[in-house]
Amino acid sequence: MRIVVTGATGFVGRAFIRRAVAGGHVVNGLVRPGSAGLPADPGVTTTVGTLARPPWDALGRFGPDVCVHAAWITDAGVYLDSPENRRYMDESLDFLQGLLDRGLGHLVALGTSAEYQASSEPLHESRSPLEPLSPYARAKHALRVALDDGVRAAGARLAWARLFQPYGVGEPAARLCSSVIRRLADGERVTLKTPRAIRDWIHVDDVAAALLHLVEQRVDTVVNIGSGIPRTVHDMALAIAGLLGRAELVATSRAGADPSGSFVADPTRMRALGWTPQVELADGLARLIADLR
């Protein structure tokens, strides 16, 4: 297939491109002016442009069968409440509608687990209530709702992939895993702000494989991309500390349940489609530690 990828130089975008090219697909990465671009590969071409100023002529010449939309604001500590979320929503909708108007038949777009209402039960695509509280989650949810109409009117397909907690090589330095690894490796004591927060960590290579599965199967529904395994922030820090031999540097906490609640995927739908995660947590963390060292 011929796949155009937005957010091509980002954490998830790069991982997806590696997986897609390895699978024999042809990829066109949309990169912003001045970006470092993508590694040279015969299966990858680069088109310079933005969501606000799309390079329509170049995209038309490429002739994509599907678009994987991964572009968004992702700066750790900033993205959840940034007013930029609204801009990304508006620009994404205009760009993706433009592709649909030009004949695109399939769209795979990245949503977020934060669209859901927190729950002590695994979150299911059709049964769990939605409650997008942050500007980030609200913008993602609004984009999906708006796209539904445009995709149906165009006779196209939409796979909305709600990502849970991706981690792995290439993640932003301020993300939990990379931050903890660097601090422990430097001999610093780690005190966690939300040690009891329960999340669902999923390796970025498994995320990439899931997205490619959605592309190849031409999936047309909302899906969760998560492991289905609940882990606290404290669990993750201890797992990293154990691999580094630095468990004494992780501060314990007597805090109760995290007020943000639990966000863990019910992965039944993706498993029924034929995808399961392959990267065990210890292996994924070991790869990240080796890369950061």
pLDDT of residue 293: 86
Residue 61 has pLDDT above 60, yes or no: yes
Q: Is there a single domain that holds both residue 28 and residue 140?
A: yes
Q: Is there a single domain that holds both residue 235 and residue 111?
A: no
- Residue 274: inside a domain, yes or no? no
Exposure string over 71-95, b if 16+ CB within 10 A, otherwise e:
bbbbeeeebbebebbeebbbbbbeb
Q: Is there a single domain that holds both residue 179 and residue 213?
A: no
Tokens standing for residue 46:
């680069």
Q: Is there a single domain that holds both residue 72 and residue 141?
A: yes
Residue 256 has pLDDT above 60, yes or no: no
Residue 140 has pLDDT above 70, yes or no: yes
Contact between 288 and 169 under an 8 Å Cβ cutoff? The reply is yes
What are the angstrom distances between the C-alpha of 76 and each of 31, 90, 135, 172?
A: 21, 21, 14, 7
What contacts 288, CB < 8 A, 6 or more positions away? 167, 168, 169, 171, 177, 178, 181
Q: Is there a single domain that holds both residue 113 and residue 146?
A: yes
Residue 168 has pLDDT above 80, yes or no: yes
Instruction: List beta partners, residue 80.
Output: none
Rounded to whole angstroms, the Cα distance separating 214 from 221 reads: 10
Q: Is there a single domain that holds both residue 86 and residue 32?
A: yes
Q: Is there a single domain that holds both residue 246 and residue 136?
A: no
Q: Is there a single domain that holds both residue 260 and residue 285?
A: yes
Domain range enclosing 285: 172-199+229-264+279-292
pLDDT tens-digit map of 173-227: 999 999 999 999 999 999 998 899 999 999 999 999 999 999 999 999 999 999 9
Q: Is there a single domain that holds both residue 141 and residue 24?
A: yes
For the chain, the domain total comes to 2
Q: Is there a single domain that holds both residue 235 and residue 105?
A: no
| CATH number of the domain to which 253 belongs | 3.90.25
Given 3-state DSSP classes, what are the helix, strand and coil percentages for the chain, each rounded to the nearest 5? 40, 20, 40
Q: Is there a single domain that holds both residue 215 and residue 250?
A: no
Contact between 34 and 9 under an 8 Å Cβ cutoff? The reply is no
Say how many residues make up the chain: 293
What contacts 55, CB < 8 A, 6 or more positions away? 30, 47, 48, 49
Contact between 242 and 101 under an 8 Å Cβ cutoff? The reply is no
Strand 201-203 vs strand 231-232: parallel, antiparallel, or unpaired?
Answer: unpaired
Give the three-class secondary structure for 182: helix
Q: Is there a single domain that holds both residue 185 and residue 216?
A: no
Contact between 207 and 263 under an 8 Å Cβ cutoff? The reply is no
- Return mean pLDDT, the chain: 94
